[in-house]
Amino acid sequence: MRALVTGGRGGIGAAICTLLDDPLVLDLPDFDVGDPDAWRSLEGEFDAAFLNAGTVTGRSDAADLTDEEWQRILRANLDGVVYGTRELAARLMPGGGSIVATASLAGLTSTAFDVAYTATKHAVVGWVRAAAPALAARGIRLNALCPGFVDTPLVELELRGRLDVPLMEPSFVAEAALRVLEDPESGRAWVVQPNRVEPYRFPGVPGPR
């Protein structure tokens, strides 16, 4: 299996890399996932990809969010998934394959600790669900990984002194990511909680009266 991993030098990404055989690791400062030209520069063929790069702002009050913070988190959390999916589908997965995009439980529910993080992770889940059907025609599966709180530097930065829930080890989430990679279905959002890995069941949207 030839795989690439964004954000592969720390946290969940590094844990995923330990489970793979010689993956291509894409991370700052060498590779900016939010730069479309960086993605266009990639060559080769892949049959697995983990679009895992992400960051936080630590802003719970939207009034305090700066332009720079918003652009930074948008590029890391959403643009990297969009550009990565596009280039994989268009050029880098000619034989088909499987893509796992790291979202978060914050992409399935409200997480008031960081409003921008929540917004971008909801967008990742929406992208996965909407893009999956067309990718299926190319033989590519696309699913979202939605972990709860993981013992990583990002969580420490975001929730220092405010969190009173058990933290998952990155290795547990990495194993879940490989399970999602092999999922024969596409367009699903997988919840990853302590001792629990399962696809989320989205409620139906009410129709007209």
Q: How many Å apart are CA 112 and CA 130, to the nearest integer?
A: 25
| 20-27 contacts at long range (C-beta below 8 A, 24 or more positions apart) | 20/48, 26/53, 27/53
Which residue type occupies 163? L
Q: How many Å apart are CA 35 and CA 54, to the nearest integer?
A: 14
- Over its C-alpha atoms, the chain yields an Rg (Å, rounded) of 16
Residues labelled catalytic: 117
Which run of H or of E encompasses 87? helix 80-87
